A = this chain, B = another copy of it.
Amino acid sequence: MNIVETPVPFPRIAIIGPGLLGGSIALALRERSPQTVVTMWARRSDAVAAAEKIAHFASTEIGDVVADADLVILCVPIGAMRALAKALAPFLKPSALVTDVGSVKAPVVSELAPVLGSQFIGSHPMAGSEQAGLEAARADLFQNAACLVTPDSSDPVATDTVSAFWTALGCRVFSLSPAGHDQAVAWVSHLPHLTAAALVDLVATKNADALRLCGNGFRDTTRVAAGPAEMWTGIALANREPLQTAVEAMIEKLGEIAKLLAANDPDAMNRFLSAAQCAREQL
């Protein structure tokens, strides 16, 4: 079988922010598309030194980093995106596209569209981990990960080109509206994060001794809660309306489960757990 790899559709790519995702994009490009010129921006000069090891050029001067780029990727916390978009906009080539890796899309699109116009197309590669920073970056982070591209008023050709970029990095690309994205990730990412954090916080408070007994089940169920608190605070609050709906639905579902326990009803409990088992096995 011949595997035809999608080529990276941009000759020059600027990565804004040398964290886990920015660093992993640089490493993936070096491995999959060594002819692509990668530039990186970092806020601090010690981070520039680290970025220089994986990019062709790195600097704290954002104009120098984006001036020749065909694609600019914002890989910073969502709260920092607007100021950086404003800072880089005057240096962009008219043909350049800008995307991001933020975990929430409607607020990001509504903040960046006025600054970057139709040059901006939001993306969300769902490939993080509980680790953070350039040290944790890996060339294969995007392999088989879902990447959600969220065109709004964006040009369809530009959207296709950004999608092709993520495909070239190994992602399975899906297209959703920004609001549809935020609904979906509230359920499959943000609610699971808050639930994991609630579980670990609860056990630490109510029965801390039990933590030394925990097995792989507890470890897996709560792994994401070790993710960077500040980043997740920004994500949760930026997506607070869909997330509040999801948290309230979870409270209701747990209320139903408490009733099943109180009723001591094996048939009803088995129906609930069988439905969950079946849904989980289909993943």
Mask, A176-194, CB within 8 Å of B = 1, is: 0000000111011101111
A198/B250 in contact, CB under 8 A: yes
Question: Hey, what's the 0/1 contact readout for A138-152 against B, CB within 8 Å counting as 1?
Answer: 000000011010000
Report copies per complex. 2
A264 at the interface (CB under 8 A from B): yes
Question: 1/0 per residue A249-261: CB within 8 Å of B?
Answer: 1110111011001
Q: Taking the complex as formed, is A200 at the interface, i.e. its CB lies under 8 A from any CB of chain B?
A: yes
Please report the C-alpha to C-alpha distance between residue A248 and residue B224 in the assembled complex, in whole angstroms: 23
A269 to B239, CA, bound (A): 13
Instruction: Find out whether the CB atom of B257 lies under 8 angstroms from the CB atom of A211.
Output: no
- Of A1-9, A84-92, A107-115, A212-220, the one contacting chain B is A212-220
Interface of chain A, main secondary structure: helix
> Contacting A236 at CB < 8 Å: which of B240, B254, B269?
B269
List chain B residues, Cβ under 8 A from A209: 184
Assembly CA distance A266 to B233 (angstroms)? 6
Measured CB to CB, the closest approach of chain B to A231, in angstroms, equals 9
In the complex, A66 has a CB within 8 A of chain B: no
Please give the distance in Å from A47's CB to the nearest CB on chain B: 22
Question: What total of chain A residues lie within 8 Å of the partner, measured CB to CB?
Answer: 89
Chain B contacts for A197, CB-based, 8 A: 272-273, 276-277, 280
A76 within 8 A of B: no
| Interchain CB contact under 8 A, A203 and B226 | no
Contact in complex: B217, A220 (CB < 8 Å):
no
Q: How far is the CA of A188 from the CA of B225 in the complex (A)?
A: 15
- Picked from B188, B206, B232, B269, the residue with its CB within 8 Å of the CB of A203 is B188
The residue that A225 contacts in the complex, of B126, B195, B255, B277, with Cβ under 8 A, is B277
Q: Which of B128, B174, B249, B254 contacts A247 (CB 8 A)?
A: B254
Is the beta-carbon distance between B192 and A217 smaller than 8 angstroms? yes
Contact B213 A253 (CB under 8 A): no
Within 8 A of B (CB), among A220-243: 220-230, 232-234, 236-237, 240, 243
Find out whether the CB atom of A191 lies under 8 angstroms from the CB atom of B199. Answer: yes
Report B-chain residues with C-beta under 8 Å of the C-beta of A275: 201, 204
Could you list 22 examples of A-B contacts with CB < 8 Å?
A128-B217, A146-B213, A174-B213, A184-B210, A184-B213, A187-B210, A189-B215, A194-B257, A197-B272, A197-B273, A201-B272, A201-B275, A204-B276, A218-B283, A225-B277, A230-B270, A233-B266, A233-B273, A236-B273, A237-B266, A240-B261, A247-B261
**3 shortest A-B CB distances, which residue pairs?**
A197-B276, A229-B273, A184-B210
